[in-house]
């Protein structure tokens, strides 16, 4: 007799993150270990959800793009032990470049869906100050020698310039205007107290600054002006269009999330901030990796039986402004549509690679809480080496008045 199996609904219970820092010797986390950032996030998840018995956690997955040094050694397992999870709780690591945390969430959610797990913890970390992207890598020379991959695919800034080439109507002026709005929306979200509740204070230390406490993101530049953006250098190409002002910086930070089967969340008295509807990943030409969210979103929508018009809130990772504009342009969404990145995005707060997927989910969950008229939202991001990833979520606070 075959066992009866039914796919279970998966909910996002909680999502938190460290403040994001600037990578480098003067950044707030210059003297902080990457795995300690993850530990702080995990401990905060337990503190915020006291009705979750740690022994009920069935699996832990932590992502990092550069899995070396203090970002190596099976982070899901070691970080869980360091955070005080019972030794009975297993863990593993994930690498899908920028979509690491997003993939940790979808992998674990799939396990919940088929009944392998009840409650899981996903996370992501990137300490780009200690471990620049690609540190220690040894790409197979056949990738380039046999022209399987364009050499520019290995340089993210050049892939963004290639997007400008492919879509010349997505001008530098539009990219700069979009970037200014990201800074402005982030400043407003901070002023309205919408970002701070999901930030985990982190003790810091520096050789010259001494001890400190990180409570807000380091990268935002609320003083940004269009004139200032227009004067920045284009490091990836002479007379190019990609600058430090219309792209995310190099950053350090960690994120974490608790997910559970919906009936288990109810049993344990846990919240449901978002309900997973569908997800999809897709591949594109690596040299224009920024267009990846377009096919991944089309796939995720098709799997859910939805259209882009059903989506009421969008969280699109801002690796580069042109990449977001390419996504919006494809789906006929205005550059300044209020549904998109309503609290700003990575151009302002930063993009610590593998951690960013859960940051998007935290922002979307906050948006769901404040917008009960919205039923569906999505989180999406481009992924290095030519991919896109999209997750569609349903708002558990939906009041039925948005239809």
pLDDT over threshold 80, residue 1: no
| The pLDDT of residue 146 | 87
388 and 323 in contact (C-beta within 8 Å)? no
* pLDDT tens-digit series, residues 142-155: 988 888 888 888 88
| The pLDDT of residue 19 | 98
| The pLDDT of residue 2 | 61
Tell me the average pLDDT across 162-170.
Answer: 96
| The pLDDT of residue 166 | 96
375 and 402 in contact (C-beta within 8 Å)? yes
* pLDDT tens-digit series, residues 230-273: 999 999 999 999 999 999 999 999 999 999 999 999 999 999 99
pLDDT over threshold 90, residue 137: no
> Pick the residue with more confidence: 148 or 221?
221
Under DSSP, is residue 233 helix (H, G, I), strand (E, B) or coil? Answer: coil
Tell me the average pLDDT across 314-343.
Answer: 98
pLDDT over threshold 60, residue 403: no
| The pLDDT of residue 49 | 98
Under DSSP, is residue 188 helix (H, G, I), strand (E, B) or coil? Answer: helix
59 and 51 in contact (C-beta within 8 Å)? no
> Pick the residue with more confidence: 399 or 111?
111
Q: Which one of 127, 131, 164, 382 is the catalytic residue?
A: 382
| The pLDDT of residue 402 | 63
**Is 127 among the catalytic positions?**
no
Q: Which one of 98, 127, 131, 164 is the catalytic residue?
A: 98
Residue 173's φ and ψ, nearest 5 degrees, are: -60, -45
Q: How confident is the model at residue 136 (pLDDT cuts 50, 70, 90)?
A: confident
- Burial of residue 283 (number of CB atoms within 10 Å: 0-12, 13-18, 19+): middle
**Is 164 among the catalytic positions?**
no
pLDDT over threshold 70, residue 123: yes
What contacts 115, CB < 8 A, 6 or more positions away?
5, 8
Mean residue pLDDT across the chain: 95
* pLDDT tens-digit series, residues 62-98: 999 999 999 999 999 999 999 999 999 999 999 999 9
């Amino acid at each position: 007799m075959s066992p009866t199996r039914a796919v279970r609904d998966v909910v996002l219970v909680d999502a938190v993150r460290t403040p994001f820092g600037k990578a480098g010797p003067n950044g707030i986390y210059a003297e902080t270990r990457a795995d300690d950032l993850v530990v702080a996030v995990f401990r905060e998840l337990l503190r915020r959800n006291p009705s979750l018995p740690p022994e009920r956690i069935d699996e832990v997955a932590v992502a990092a793009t550069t899995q070396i040094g203090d970002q190596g050694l099976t982070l899901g397992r070691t970080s869980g032990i360091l955070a005080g999870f019972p030794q009975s709780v297993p863990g593993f690591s994930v690498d899908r470049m920028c979509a690491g945390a997003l993939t940790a969430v979808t992998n674990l959610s799939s396990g919940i869906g088929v009944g392998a797990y009840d409650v899981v913890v996903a996370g992501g970390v990137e300490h780009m100050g200690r471990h620049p992207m690609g540190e220690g890598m040894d790409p197979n020379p056949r990738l380039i020698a046999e022209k399987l991959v364009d050499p520019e695919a290995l340089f993210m800034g050049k892939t963004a310039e290639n997007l400008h080439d492919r879509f010349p109507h997505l001008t530098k002026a539009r990219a700069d205007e979009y970037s200014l709005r990201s800074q402005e929306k982030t400043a407003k979200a901070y002023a309205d107290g919408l970002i701070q509740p999901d930030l985990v204070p982190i003790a810091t230390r520096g050789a010259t600054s001494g001890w400190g406490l990180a409570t807000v993101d380091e990268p935002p530049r609320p003083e940004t002006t269009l004139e200032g953006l227009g004067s920045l250098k284009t490091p990836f190409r002479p007379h190019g269009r990609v600058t430090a002002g219309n792209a995310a910086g190099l950053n350090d930070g960690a994120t974490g999330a608790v997910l559970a089967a919906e009936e288990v969340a109810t049993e344990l008295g846990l919240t449901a901030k978002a309900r997973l509807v569908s997800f999809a990943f897709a591949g594109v030409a690596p040299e224009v990796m920024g267009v990846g969210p377009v096919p991944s979103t089309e796939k995720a929508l098709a799997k859910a039986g939805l259209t882009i018009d059903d989506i009421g809130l969008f969280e699109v990772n801002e690796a580069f402004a042109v990449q977001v504009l390419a996504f919006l342009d494809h789906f006929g969404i205005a550059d300044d549509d209020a549904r998109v990145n309503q609290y700003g995005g990575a151009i302002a707060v930063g993009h610590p690679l593998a951690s960013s997927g859960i940051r998007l989910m935290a922002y979307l969950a906050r948006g769901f809480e404040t917008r009960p008229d919205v039923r569906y939202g999505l989180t999406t991001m481009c992924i290095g080496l030519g991919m896109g990833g999209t997750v569609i979520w349903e708002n558990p606070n939906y009041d039925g008045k948005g239809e």
